[in-house]
Structure 1
Amino acid sequence: MTQVKVGFGGGCHWCTEAVFQSLRGVGNVAQGFIKSLAPHDSFSEAVVVTFDPEVIPLDVLIDVHLRTHASTSQHKMRGKYRSAVYVYSGEQADTVQRHIKDAQSDFDKPLVTMTLPFDGFKPSPEPFQRYYETNPEKPFCTTYIDPKLSVIRQQFGHYSVRC
């Protein structure tokens, strides 16, 4: 079984963590903060996803990401919630850039999601890890995470482990 890593950032890392934990083929989701190279070298909320591309292709992970955060909004919190796919190789960068360009036709507004080289990770404090898994009934989870998981069940049901 091949395991590949890629990073995703765009919204609250509690949400992003729960989204990717809900998918078949994802072996691990590390929640925390990712930085890239300048000018994107400040840490931003994100996750590192370890996945099996034979079970869930990178293109599907990108589609899930684009549809479960504000991927077309250049809102004022982008410093904390940078919309990005953090890549580990040039080949991965080419795949991500090509797929985001192809996915643009599915959106009414321009996608702001960047493809950035991964340059560092800091995990969230332990009490915040697996937030949805340990707090599914909390108002934050029912208000923000449950609707994202609903999108996954509706649009990516084949890959969802929570059908």
Structure 2
Amino acid sequence: MKFACACGNLIPDQTDYLSYAAHLIADQDLYDATAMSERGSSDWWPSLTRKLYQCDSCGRLWIEDRGRELRAFVPEEPAPHFLSSIHGDQWKRILRGEWRDERVIATLPRGFLGWAHLSEEDHATFDDWGLLERAYYDRFEELKKRGILRDAMLTKNGETVHSWGRA
């Protein structure tokens, strides 16, 4: 899903680990969610949570109502980005590297390296497998050493070359 904020900024929700998105559980539903989770049920997640987004440009909040329609709330003063992890820079992120010998689209690079990061560029593209592989292992070692890596996976033509953690 993608939607345009009233300020014109595009807000995409097409992946996980977004620093501008969150899930909201009403205080009235919190104990139901806890009880269902303790019983081993995951049914509570889609039924008791609503999505929440913050525009990176204007700070406007977009919250799903009970009917799953987005409603906007405008801050009275400039709003900081507060939907990112409570752990800040210590949030454990993921690392993904992907290579395709055959280009999916002629104008796109064959390799991609992405990591969910809060304070720097979070991806790079490659047209050389060796450079992608080296960059993946360098980033892997750096994030692992800093203790901020959740899981990692490197694939080449759909085959797993390396995985670590939950990947």
Q: Determine which structure has greater relative contact order: mean sequence separation of CA pairs < 8 Å that are 6+ residues apart, divided by chain length.
A: 1
TM norm structure 1: 0.26
Which structure shows the higher strand fraction?
2
Which structure shows the higher helix fraction?
1
The structure whose Rg is larger is 2
